[in-house]
Structure 1
Amino acid sequence: MSALVPALEVFLVFLRLGLTSFGGPVAHLGYYRAELVVRRGWFTEAGYAELVAVAQFLPGPASSQVGMASGLLRAGWPGLLAAWVGFTLPSAAVMFALALGMARWGEVEGAGWLAGLKVAAVAVVAQAVAGLWGQLVTDRRRAVLALGVAAALLVLPGAGAQVGALLVCALAGWHLLPAPQSTERGLPAVPVSRRVGATLLLVCGAGLVLLPLLAPLSEVWALLNATFRAGALVFGGGHVVLPLLEAGFVPALVSHEHFVAGYGAANAVPGPLFTFATFLGAAQTQMPPLWGAVIATLGVFLPGALLMAGTLPFWAVLAARPGARSALAGLNAGVVGLLLAALYTPVFTGGVRGPRDLAVAVLAYAALTAGRLPAWAVVLACAAVGWAVL
């Protein structure tokens, strides 16, 4: 029973994050940092940046993968499951309910409380960028790398540019930066052997090969194949999953109108955007809604979990080498630049519509930094302010 106590702690932490983390994948990483690094001290800034870097290189839902990895490192396999369930359950439950009664949610997009939540995301991501900059961008060379990545991604957005920019930072760090001391890494030991990691990666690859062969046999296999492929092949964040899910669901399983409406709703709820698959699984008509929602949710998240847990033991071995640690130092600076670019677009451009929104964002940032209020409290306050005046 005592072994379950850390997992329960992980579940409660991520359940609160799942209830309050609005704003998309980049904002989620800001909420994670506020909770896991600043408030609870589970990771150092460098250790947290490593998790973000691994997730950026892998396909799948980056923020959910960072959450699952955090749970794995904190409480083993039960912790991974607890982090995923806690962070995903609120969003999945809302999307399931919306799929069953979707007549009224065209009103969601213009709601004042939603505008307040978007403004809160600006403050949270700004705090994350400032904190990571102070910890990871400690000299001129790293500043050049961070600002160079930010400038490049503002001009050339997209998943390919992100991966390319981070690779350049890793190579630059390898050649130009001294290897940090091992004590600076701060990433806990990975409770997964390389043999198990290799097995998990093979299972993910086997799923991509075998599920298309099984799909014609039943509706269950077809639904699992559509969602598993989307989760395994998406790079660049939750929004990129849209065309992959559309290819698997429209028009065979859901109408185009239902698909577009569900995607709009997914952007208005907290937690991972990948729970759009929960909506689609519930909206299809070939099996009971609850059964379809469960299969679709498991299918879209499973590849990301397999890839993250399978990669971490190899990453840990690589990161122990001095040359690789220099590369990681450059990579961490690149992650700061990536978040800096994302702070402008889509977070700032999508959340600040004018001076009033900017004023609320500034006050929210002050509450997070000078006031030291927890992120969830600031999020709720911004939602209330948005409902009242925005």
Structure 2
Amino acid sequence: MLKRSAEVFWQFFLLGLYSFGGPAAHIGYFQRNFVDKLNWLSEKDYTQLVALSQFLPGPGSSQVGFAIGLRRAGLLGGACAFIGFTLPSFLLLYAVAVSSTTYAGNPIVMAVIHGLKLFAVVVVADAVLTMFKAFCQESRTIAIAVASAIVVLCMPYLHTQIALIGIAAIVGALWLKPTDTGTPPSFHKQDSQPIHWWALALFVVIFAASPLLDDRHTLIGIFNDFYQAGSLVFGGGHVVLPLLQQTAAENLTNDQFLMAYSSAQAVPGPMFTMASFLGADLHPDGAFAGSLAATIGVFLPGLLLVIALQGAWQTLTDLPHLRGAVSAINAAVVGLLIAALYQPVFTSAVANGIDMALVIAGIFALRVLRWKVLLLVAAFMLIGPLLPV
């Protein structure tokens, strides 16, 4: 088992070094490596894991990777898969966070940050368009997304976002018809396994206890805040943006937050490692410990849910009311992302017509010309110092 776990770590570490492109690209990397090349699992089993990651809150691609390691070498294998895939981006974002604090105020650095803030507008706008198309396909889910955006724009608080997700789940369970939510893949009932209740209980206990420890200046407080955010992020990737923004709003500037988001786009690996940057900024007296606490906090809920439900999820997704709840939650988080696109992303980055023109050009380059994200990052970093102050 130790040999298998070491193999799992090495394979995922190599992928973590070059897995650019976000969750959808990561899913493709995993399939080519673990299904087509190494034959660690069948295509049917892999499809089940991908579907599970879409059903649960948390970082989708990291959950798939964790589940692959879990199947290959048990809990130790799952931990090795997660650490291997996350370690490169964690170290890179920690280093960027520390260096950005050191050079804060330098005119060139500030100009580059301005370029990266404009890049963030482009990427979040692209994510909104993509997710709206995926999760808001009929009038009821569109209505949920629009209502969520309106409420959050009028009441931009973390508790508002959490309440909206809960209300959306209830509304979806009662209001959305089974045909509105899509039909889950058909698998044999004998494939289903029991729920691992200990993991589900641990998830619930930490989630329930964490609001009682809300001092963000301590490591436990940082862990708790990011655990709350990771527990409520359906859709993965960019959806973590509005929750993390509210989590860090009292202690970090919009510039720091958007720098974290842009940096996470520029490195390989999971998007959720922007928590590594934010944790370092939130705990400057022990930046590495803060980075580690935030990173573990934001990833742990999704990983616990994979342990709990990976064998039983087919049975759960046969329940139409549960599918309705998940569909409504996905629509609601599209609304949250629309609100985040305006505040803080757009309002903190776009100051004049030239900025807006660059955003439009960036969206065209990303969606029409199909520029790679890394090329777009480089372009905006170079353009930033050329813009008028």
TM-score w.r.t. the length of structure 1 is 0.67
Q: 1:147 to 1:6 in 2, by over 3 A?
A: farther
Give unmatched runs, 5+ long, in structure 2.
Answer: 1-5, 32-45, 71-77, 233-241, 265-273
Give the structure 1 partner of residue 161 of structure 2.
162
1:147, CA displacement in angstroms? 1.0
Among residues 358, 379, 389, which one is paired with 1:381 in the alignment?
379
Task: Give the AA of the match of 1:237.
Answer: L
Structure 1 residues 388 and 75: CA distance shift in structure 2, 3 A: farther
Counterpart check, 1:359 vs 2:357: yes
Query: 1:309 matched to which residue of 2?
Result: 303
2-structure distance, mates of 1:111, 1:70: 37
CA distance in 2, matches of 1:278, 1:140: 42
The match for 2:271 is none
Secondary structure of the structure 2 residue equivalent to 1:182: coil
Change (3 A) 1:117 1:190: farther
Q: Percent identity?
A: 21
**CA RMSD, 1 decimal:** 4.2
Residue 118 and residue 225 in structure 1: after superposition, are their counterparts in 2 closer, same or farther (change >3 A)? closer
Report the Cα offset of residue 95 of structure 1: 3.2
Give the drift of 1:160.
1.2
Alignment CA distance shift 1:151-1:33 (3 Å) = farther
- Compared CA separation, residues 46 and 142, structure 1 to 2 (3 A): farther
Q: Secondary structure at the match of 1:326?
A: helix
| Aligned CA distance change for structure 1 residues 225 and 108 (closer, same or farther; 3 Å) | farther
Give 5+ residue unaligned stretches, structure 1.
17-30, 56-64, 212-221, 247-259, 285-291
Equivalent position amino acid for 1:359 in 2: A
- Aligned with 2:259: secondary structure? coil
**Are 2:297 and 1:297 aligned?**
no
Runs of 4+ deviating beyond 6 Å: 37-48, 189-193, 205-209
**Does 2:98 correspond to 1:107?**
no
Distance 1:380 1:231 in 2: 29
Aligned residues: 325
Distance 1:178 1:227 in 2: 39
Name the SS of the counterpart of 1:105 in structure 2: coil
Q: Distance in 2 between matches of 1:136 and 1:331?
A: 9
- Which has the higher mean CA deviation after the structures are superposed, 117-126 or 84-93? 84-93
Give the corresponding residue for 1:175: 174
* 3-state DSSP of counterpart to 2:22: helix
The 1-side partners of 2:385 and 2:193 are apart by 45
Q: Structure 1 173/34 Cα, relative in aligned 2: closer, same or farther at 3 Å? A: same
Shift of 1:140: 1.1
1:296 Cα offset (Å): 3.4
Compute the TM-score of the two structures, normalised by the length of structure 2. 0.67
Which residue of structure 2 aligns with residue 120 of structure 1? 119
Partner of 1:347: 345
Distance in 2 between the 1:348 and 1:173 partners?
30
Partner of 1:32: 22
Matches within 5 A, 1:231-310: 231-232=226-227, 237-242=243-248, 268-269=259-260, 270-271=263-264, 272-278=274-280, 284=285, 292-310=286-304
Q: Is the contact between residue 196 and residue 309 of structure 2 (CA under 8 Å) also seen in structure 1? A: yes
Change (3 A) 1:37 1:119: farther
| Kept in 1: contact 2:149–2:338 (CA 8 A) | yes
Distance in 1 (alpha carbons) for counterparts of 2:109 and 2:67: 40
Question: Does the CA contact (< 8 Å) of 2:258 and 2:345 recur in 1?
Answer: no
Aligned to 1:145: 144
Deviates more, 1:83-92 or 1:378-387: 83-92
The answer (yes or no) to whether the contact 1:166–1:334 under 8 Å persists in 2 is yes
Matched-pair contact (CA < 8 Å) for 2:113–2:259: yes
> 1:10-29, CA deviations, whole angstroms, 9 ceiling, x for partnerless residues?
41245x5xxxxxxxxxxxxx
2:324 maps to what in 1? 326
Q: Is this contact kept in 2: 1:37–1:48, CA < 8 A?
A: no
Aligned partners of 1:200 and 1:306 also within 8 Å: no
- Are residues 192 and 340 of structure 1, via their aligned partners in 2, closer, same or farther at CA, if it must alter by over 3 Å? farther
Preserved CA contact (<8 Å) 1:8 1:82: yes
Which residue of the partner structure matches residue 133 of structure 1?
132
What is the aligned partner in structure 2 of residue 11 from structure 1? 16
Residue 4 to residue 153, structure 1, CA distance change in 2 (3 Å): same
**Structure-2 change in CA distance of 1:116 and 1:297 (3 Å):** closer
